[in-house]
Structure 1
Amino acid sequence: MFEPLITHIQKFVALNTEEQALLTAYLKYEELSKKKYLLSEGDICNAQYFVVEGCIRMYFIKENGVEQIVQFGIDNWWISDYTSFTLHNPSQFYLQTVQRSKVITLTQAKQDELLDKLPKLERYFRRIYQRAYAAAQTRLIFFTDLSGEEKYHHFASRFPDFVQRIPQYMLASYLGFTPEFLSKVRAKHH
């Protein structure tokens, strides 16, 4: 059950059998039902989650009461509220499964202990955080520079399977559209 994560880590750092066994002792594997909350607004985020299979959305509630999705965690991707995780501030976000998901949890306390014992994992996590930060920066350009229609096409061409997998209203929320606008854009191109 930890195989997908070990495979992912091995792309960045080599782990022998002993190190793999040590690593898995710090992890928790869970199969979660659809719509399960891993984090709610106001809670301190004390873990990060590796999605083995499925999808987790990260969203906040805007002033007008509308959900704004800021990120999806899909297969082989880590997701967490890193602001709350790092600074121990109450979170402004919700983390919730979009579909049945298989998730590996690493709590902050366990991660600190694990990195003491397996310092080479620092390199793995550094690479993961760099990629997450790069994705966040790309998203800024994407959101400030592209028209609504361009956003949809850019996203749909990069993640075609994903666009099929998630409910349309969630895709609309992520792209900053109303579901009606998304329907119009899609209808035009089908």
Structure 2
Amino acid sequence: MTSPKLLLQQTVNHIHPLSEEDFEAFYALFKPFSAKRKEMLTEAGCVEKYLYFVVDGLQRLYYLDEQNREATLVFSYQSNFGGILDSMMNQTPSKYYYETLSPSVFLRASYTQIDELLATHPAIEVLLRKGLTGAFSGILERLVELQCFSSEEKFQQLLRRSPHILQIVPHKYLANYIGIDPSNFSKLINSIKI
């Protein structure tokens, strides 16, 4: 099994390689953290305090409206950064929930420590900017899918981006992510060549 430090370093290098000194300073902020299945890490109305790095497990970020309708927005899993980034970066109350869907192991760093480190390590600020820009690009692509694609096209796009998603995410959450009733999800799977 790959060490958490190596997983983090591989992910960081994919976004924006850091010098050994910068990476060690960044890595020093992260502390191990574990959570059980279906544990709420951040709730709507709370300010996100942490940047999570997923070592193992599956999580989702979702929105819950006044009628208790859920909208699954993002899944995170091994080698992903997680948390409610807009709340963390703006230090404002979240509109979203971040929960584990399986037992999960993380490295997590507090916003306060990250913010302090940015003042002395410009390369880490570049890393965060590039990471957030990549996330923003993904959100724009998702908005196009939501507004223009059929359920089948959304599902095919999801499988192109994350071919392993069917093996790790319960189908009811995938149905919610695509925007269809869970009872229709098996019909969708059967209608598409995977």
TM-score normalised by structure 2 residue count? 0.88
Maintained 8 Å contact 1:13/1:121: no
Three-state SS of the structure 2 residue aligned to 1:91 is coil
Q: Relative to structure 1, is the Cα distance of residues 189 and 21 closer, same or farther in structure 2, using a 3 angstrom cutoff? A: closer
Who is 1:15 aligned against?
Answer: 19
| 1:125-144 mapped onto 2 (5 Å cutoff) | 125-144=128-147
Cα deviations across residues 90-130 of structure 1 (Å, max 9, x unaligned)?
Answer: 21111011112221212110101222232211111111011
Cα deviations across residues 128-162 of structure 1 (Å, max 9, x unaligned)?
Answer: 01110000000001110001122112212332211
Who is 2:105 aligned against?
Answer: 102
Q: Relative to structure 1, is the Cα distance of residues 158 and 33 closer, same or farther in structure 2, using a 3 angstrom cutoff? A: same
Who is 1:157 aligned against?
Answer: 160
Three-state SS of the structure 1 residue aligned to 2:122 is coil
Unaligned 5+ residue runs, structure 2?
none
Who is 2:124 aligned against?
Answer: 121
Three-state SS of the structure 2 residue aligned to 1:44 is coil
Q: Relative to structure 1, is the Cα distance of residues 7 and 189 closer, same or farther in structure 2, using a 3 angstrom cutoff? A: closer
| 1:15-94 mapped onto 2 (5 Å cutoff) | 15-16=19-20, 18-94=21-97
**How many residues are paired up?**
189
Identity of aligned residues (%): 25
Larger displacement relative to structure 2 (139-148 or 74-83): 74-83
Larger displacement relative to structure 2 (135-144 or 39-48): 39-48
Displacement, 1:10?
A: 2.9
Who is 1:179 aligned against?
Answer: 182
Displacement, 1:26?
A: 1.3
Displacement, 1:3?
A: 2.1
Cα deviations across residues 14-51 of structure 1 (Å, max 9, x unaligned)?
Answer: 322x4444333211122322112110111111222111
Check if 1:111 corresponds to 2:114.
yes
Unaligned 5+ residue runs, structure 1?
none
Three-state SS of the structure 1 residue aligned to 2:71 is strand
